[in-house]
A and B are shown apart, each in its own frame.
Chain A
Amino acid sequence: MCALAHVLEEAGIATVVLASMRAVAERMNVPRVLHCEFPLGRPLGMPDNAEFQHGVLSAAFELLDASSGPVLVDYPEVVEAVETPLACALPPRFDPDIAPSIDEAQGLRAAYERAVARRGATEVGRAIDADGVAGALADLERVAAGEHWKEVYGPRLDTIAIAHDIRAYYQEAALELAGGPPPGARQAEAWFYEETEAGKTLAAARDALTEQEAPSGITFYMQPVGR
């Protein structure tokens, strides 16, 4: 983003970067930076809060008044991530003959569909669609149980995209089920990894892949750092 600021500015477009990583921005001679200490993934700070977002934009536009740079200003309000899991009930066990993760995913399908209908879009679809979630979990259960990934997936390992899609499916369903204002940053993530069977399956599969010396670039991005 900071490199693009240079490129745009050289083309005659005045830029303001809403930077969340101050240490990066301050090393790159960027023309105008509003450093916002907000959770990563939220450059405007707060979802569903137009007043807050306007405050950030207003501060960003003020930097255009400077006559020379670099200019780096800290936005005075800080937003912290919330590490406690989102309060969202999980479906009861329905079919004892299938793996808990698959049973759970199927139980969330109606909520997921409501979420997609409401928004008119879904983040699921990088590798699989909603119909593919159960099968993807079945594959991950096999890896977690010790089967070698090449037996399960063949030569091409696409588990970053698969993990993304499963997590997106769960998070979209959870936001719908929880209702109310958007949760704090990391709450949906914490719910997925700490409370759902699918999150546990994904973590176990990632550990198994690491043991099998699957490419580290893939296992690293299967889930957030620190999990």
Chain B
Amino acid sequence: MSSDQVMRDMMANLPVPEFESTPWASPPPLAEATVAIVTSAGLHRADQDRFDGRGDVSYRMLDRGDRELILGHWSSNFDRAAYVSDHNVVYPIDRLEELAAAGTIGAVAPRHVAFAGNQPDTVSEVRLDTGPAAAAELRADGVDVAILTPV
């Protein structure tokens, strides 16, 4: 069995945080929308603090122009080499720039967000504290749509 399948089977049986309802935001038309990337890959600039490996609930704001960020997620259980070859496979910032230039999306957000996916099981802090804080920063930048990229 492949390592990916082992991980999928493991995760399929773990308890997940309960969300009884589905919130729903209605975005403007895509050609008018400001789009951000929110990733759980733990990306950060070399001059930003690293994520620690013990359920770090913090996040890093990444500037639109940042490239060659460090992949700070602690797990050894995913393909880390693809990101080294091409950051867009995790953080498709160059693709968003192309879509904005073509007029497909309204704008690329000035800032993007990275969390580290290895969270405590309840994800309480992300739900109640750091998640809303990151969302408020994105809203302050006029973000309408977020593409979420887990590793």
Q: Closest Cβ of chain B: how far from A13's Cβ, in Å? A: 5
Q: A7-B127, A14-B145, A21-B8 are in contact. Are A42 and B79 (CB under 8 A)?
A: yes
Q: Which of A139-198 contact B (CB under 8 A)?
A: 160-161, 163-164, 167-168, 171-172, 175, 182-183, 185-189
- The chain A residue with its CB closest to the CB of B115 is A4
Docked-complex contact A221 and B78, CB < 8 angstroms = no
Q: Closest Cβ of chain B: how far from A67's Cβ, in Å? A: 8
Chain A residues, Cβ within 8 Å of B139: 11-13
Q: Closest Cβ of chain A: how far from B76's Cβ, in Å? A: 5
Of B19, B71, B151, the residue contacting A28 (CB under 8 A) is: B19
Q: Closest Cβ of chain A: how far from B45's Cβ, in Å? A: 9
Q: Is B62 an interface residue (CB 8 A)?
A: no
Docked-complex contact A6 and B23, CB < 8 angstroms = yes
Q: Closest Cβ of chain B: how far from A133's Cβ, in Å? A: 17
- Interface residues, chain A, CB within 8 Å of chain B? 1-24, 27-31, 39-48, 50, 53-54, 57, 60-61, 64, 68-70, 80-81, 83, 119-121, 123, 125-126, 160-161, 163-164, 167-168, 171-172, 175, 182-183, 185-189, 221-227
17 contacts between A and B (CB under 8 A): A1-B150, A3-B123, A7-B131, A14-B26, A20-B150, A23-B11, A28-B17, A29-B22, A30-B22, A31-B22, A31-B23, A39-B4, A41-B82, A57-B92, A186-B2, A223-B76, A224-B3
- Interface residues, chain B, CB within 8 Å of chain A? 1-4, 6-8, 10-12, 14, 16-17, 19-27, 30, 33, 36, 38-40, 46, 50, 53, 68-71, 74-86, 88-90, 92, 94-96, 98-99, 104-105, 115, 117, 119, 123, 126-127, 131-132, 134-136, 138-139, 143-151
